[in-house]
Amino acid sequence: MEKLLTAWDLEPTVIAGGAGLFAGYLLCHTWRGRRAAAFFAGDLMLVLALVSPLDVLADNYLFSAHMVQHLMLVLGVPPLLLLGVSESFARAVVGVPLLGKGERYLDHPIVAWSLFTATLWVWHLPVLYDATLASEAVHVFEHLTFLVTATVFWWPVLSPLKRSRLSPAPAIAYLFAAALANSLLGILLTFARAGLYLPYLSPPDRYGLASLLRDSWGLDPATDQQLGGLIMWVLGGLVFLGAILGVVTRWQHAPEPEECWSASR
């Protein structure tokens, strides 16, 4: 267990990027309790997902650890970062003509949902998934696409700009549809043939953790794959359920009914 707790992958670019992201936030925002705390939590989650022992397990040993990492990158980091962004900063960003044009296109719920779902499914095709474990460049690109498309996905729900947010009923349908797509992928992974992802069958034991994981924890490749599918299916579903409940709570506490979203935006 001691070996696992000390198996950190302290990638300088990730640490510098996380520090730079928060420094940039402080330059553009005043520190305001919950909002700043949400942004800091998202930034910290991003760094920990990519440098902690979780990253070592995900890259070298366990499919299930990789699923936890992926859920952090798509269902944890982007919503927390968006919750930390102020309306004034968001208005300044979309006030830049090129960025504003992109935002008006990408905040369409069908576009945002499709980009997010397609990215999630495509990267779990065995040929592409195995490629991420074989090439650091491909792996970095995968993580970037996860973060970007997940941010686009969460924007119609958590945007600081009211005009960009879906009204409650469409937001619930939007999140429910995403939950179904995520759960379906998780179910397929849970019940797929063992050894779907070849690098996890006989991983090189460069950190000396194989005995702990296979013998002490009982995570043979088949069990590990089933656990990974369940994590995406159940844990991911719970995150979406929490988001839906958040929308319902916001709806109940709204001073007056929100204007319904229109495709003419």
Question: What is the DSSP code string of the chain?
Answer: -HHHHT-----HHHHHHHHHHHHHHHHHS---HHHHHHHHHHHHHHHHHHHSHHHHHHHHT-HHHHHHHHHIIIIIHHHHHHHH--HHHHHHHHTSHHHHHHHHHHTSHHHHHHHHHHHHHHTTSHHHHHHHHH-HHHHHHHHHHHHHHHHHHHHHHH-SSGGGSPPHHHHHHHHHHHHHHHHHHHHHHHHSPTTSSGGGTS---TTS-HHIIIIIS---HHHHHHHHHHIIIIIHHHHHHHHHHHHHHHHHT-SSPPPPP-TT-
Asked if the structure places residue 257 within a domain, the reply is: no
Asked if the structure places residue 129 within a domain, the reply is: yes
**pLDDT < 70 stretches in the chain:** 254-265
Asked if the structure places residue 118 within a domain, the reply is: yes
CB 86 within 8 A of CB 35: yes
Between CA 148 and CA 203 the distance in angstroms is: 30
Asked if the structure places residue 261 within a domain, the reply is: no
* 254: helix, strand or coil: coil
The sign of the CA dihedral 17, 18, 24, 28 is: positive
Between CA 137 and CA 87 the distance in angstroms is: 35
Give residue 166's domain range. 2-252
pLDDT of residue 77: 97
Asked if the structure places residue 259 within a domain, the reply is: no
pLDDT of residue 239: 96
Asked if the structure places residue 265 within a domain, the reply is: no
Asked if the structure places residue 215 within a domain, the reply is: yes
pLDDT of residue 260: 45
Between CA 232 and CA 252 the distance in angstroms is: 30
Asked if the structure places residue 38 within a domain, the reply is: yes
Domains: count for the chain: 1
The sign of the CA dihedral 123, 124, 125, 130 is: positive
pLDDT of residue 197: 94
Between CA 146 and CA 140 the distance in angstroms is: 10
CA 219 to chain centroid: 24
